[in-house]
Structure 1
């Protein structure tokens, strides 16, 4: 098991997994990209690259002493100095919860997340046998935050405004996310890259998951979904 493990994806195409002590990080390199090395050293073969501002999941494994400065990705390693944690960017402000919504505002930015009770009569619900337990399929999608029982709630809408301009968030960014815990939501802003990160930790126990949405220069880019072990 590696000291630091990242399972990453380019936001528009792949899927993330998650491990214990998970964190989110962004590629930061003056060259505009970071090299992926075959082994944990700077002289190792380059097997790929990650563009600047690519969002990745970072995992801290406490029982592996070496190598301390390299992070594993799906096909190699990157040096940890080329990553910056999302939580190290300034938080835009405190959250204000009201009814079924929570709003976080500051620095000319406003983020509102709204949840609603799950109404089974408005959805197509099936189950997929995964050998020992059933996976709920709602409206044709595997869900996050649920097991084989119906969820209690889910996101109704996410609205984002930056300097008075609305940022469209597609329904696909949240329509498979269930069992919402508002108290864990937070928003961070990378001023240099004009990048906004919305983090939420939802559900509990075996169905717990995390999500990080990324908005860059007023445009929604994608999300990272992860599961803490």
Structure 2
């Protein structure tokens, strides 16, 4: 089990090592994800508006019209025992990188972590060659094999005057967070994007909200 956790972490880091976060831009509200980089290839998935995913940054800047994308298998990045994404291709014209969106400066959306010093509190720790691989069976995002310095004790999110409940499983695997992040609005969605780390274990977090609640949490790392 310990070896499996480490192997998964290494695979994730390697595969999305050049990946960045994007959403789609498509008037139909969705984009087909194809098995191979051509329009005749089998459709293996659909990406919908404001659904965050990773794309290959290096291949996205060459002349290829089809870009590799890495899509989480579930919308909240909760998997800890398997490689939790599928790989496919979308047409470059359908790609919308987050940094091209308009930053949100309004008051209808508020987001804040409640941050406290790390405390193990009798949680089970998995180690591999002396490095912390998992806490309570969950990944330890934000460290490079050490115990975290800080943890989250809650998340305050308010969308258009309505408080959004965010349960502990959605924040108890992300560490070394700060309240410095970028917020974008696209249509009726508010998108929070940030990097967190202890200096070496850098990773990305993306939260996607509407007035109806939390729609997605994307968590991953790249080097």
Q: TM-score range by the shorter chain?
A: 0.7 to 0.9
Quote the offset at 1:112 in angstroms. Answer: 1.6
**Alpha-carbon separation, structure 2, partners of 1:78 and 1:25:** 12
**Alpha-carbon separation, structure 1, partners of 2:208 and 2:221:** 18
Instruction: Judge conservation of contact 1:109–1:160 (CA < 8 Å) in 2.
Output: yes
Gap runs ≥5 in structure 1: 1-14, 94-105
TM-score (norm 2): 0.75
Equivalent residues in 2 for 1:4-23, closer than 5 Å: 18-20=16-18, 22-23=19-20
Name the SS of the counterpart of 1:207 in structure 2.
coil
**Residue aligning to 2:123:** 124
**Residue aligning to 2:140:** 143
Measured against aligned partners, the alpha-carbon deviations of 1:67-123 in whole angstroms (never above 9, x if no partner) come to 1x2211344311122122223222223xxxxxxxxxxxx242111222111123x24
Quote the offset at 1:195 in angstroms. Answer: 0.9
Instruction: Judge conservation of contact 2:113–2:178 (CA < 8 Å) in 1.
Output: no
- Identify the match of residue 22 of structure 2 among 9, 22, 25: 25
Measured against aligned partners, the alpha-carbon deviations of 1:175-221 in whole angstroms (never above 9, x if no partner) come to 111122444x121111x2x1111112111454111111111343112
Instruction: Judge conservation of contact 1:173–1:222 (CA < 8 Å) in 2.
Output: no
**Residue aligning to 1:189:** 185
1:216 paired with 2:215, answer no
Gap runs ≥5 in structure 2: 1-11, 70-85
Q: How well do the aligned residues superpose, as a CA RMSD in angstroms? A: 2.6
Instruction: Judge conservation of contact 1:24–1:87 (CA < 8 Å) in 2.
Output: no
**Alpha-carbon separation, structure 2, partners of 1:75 and 1:111:** 31
**Alpha-carbon separation, structure 2, partners of 1:78 and 1:23:** 14
Aligned length: 195
TM-score (norm 1): 0.73
**Alpha-carbon separation, structure 1, partners of 2:130 and 2:20:** 29
Q: Provide closer, same or farther for how the CA distance between residues 182 and 165 of structure 1 changes in structure 2, counting only shifts above 3 A.
A: closer
1:42 paired with 2:39, answer yes
**Residue aligning to 1:86:** 98
